[in-house]
Amino acid sequence: MSLVTSEQMLLDAQKGGYAVGAFNVENMEMLKAVVAAAEELRAPVMLQTTPSTVKYGTLETYYAMAAAEAEKATVPVCLHLDHGSSYELVLQAIRAGYTSVMIDGSHLDFESNIALTKRAADAARACNITVEGELGKVGGKEDDLEAEADNNTDPMQAKEFVERTGVHSLAIGIGTAHGFYATTPVLDKERISEVKELVSVPLVLHGASGLSDEDVRECVSRGMCKVNFATELRVAYTDAGKKLLKEHPDTFDPKKLGTVGMEAVKQFVKNRILVCGCDHKAD
């Protein structure tokens, strides 16, 4: 089937009490592995690229790969711009064929974040494309955006933010961080429940790489409808290649490296799909 927007899959997740897995992909092999895992488990899935990834490979290239794999798939596949760093990049992604975009104004003050997010949401809505916004900072670093300390989302501000911007989904800060955790994270899971009480749109969990399965499941049970995974996929892919080269140092065929990388990513994604509870939700 053709690429779809994230709107219906996230609304279904919100209604059904599960979350859609959203996986950052860096190359053809990772992209194919994510779709293959979703096919095997009959799960809706979101493919994501960050600004640094599209700078490396271009929006048009990732769209072409995603569209080709989605066309062969029998489960819903969405192509999402993760952490869109500017209004201009959001427009470029929409023009390239992306079916979902995120505008990340979380580093701005509240009013500036609303203004930027609303501008992007208005433009995307005119093209029938779904938009994710972010309120409250997620720690760690994602591309060139870095937060030194967590700043959890205020529920009342979240309500106002959604109403004034018109976003389809909202990423909130609860103490997670991008990348792996140096120490055990302290998550404000009750904050999810508090925001859910006031906000009508599906909620999004960033910084899930490195969280325990139990933490992810509880976040989903409290209202997270989309869970992002990035760092763990990169590690799975590269570790598989390192292992192959260690065992067979004379390997020179990139396809052999890609094959073990794909399998490692596929197995990881299948595990995360099961943790999110979105398996067999595409049936």
Active-site amino acid positions:
82
The whole-angstrom separation of Cα 74 and Cα 24 is 20
209 is in an annotated binding site: yes
177 is in an annotated binding site: no
229 is in an annotated binding site: yes
215 is in an annotated binding site: no
CA end-to-end distance (rounded Å), the chain? 14
19 is in an annotated binding site: no
50 is in an annotated binding site: no
Q: Pick from 24, 23, 22: which is nearest to 9 by CA? A: 22
| Residue 192 contacts residue 222 (beta carbons within 8 Å) | yes
The whole-angstrom separation of Cα 134 and Cα 168 is 11
The whole-angstrom separation of Cα 137 and Cα 38 is 30
180 is in an annotated binding site: no
130 is in an annotated binding site: no
Q: How many CB atoms lie within 10 A of CB 231?
A: 17
Annotated binding site: 83, 104, 134, 178-179, 206-209, 228-231
Annotated binding site for dihydroxyacetone phosphate: 179, 207-209, 228-231
Annotated binding site for Zn(2+): 83, 104, 134, 178, 206
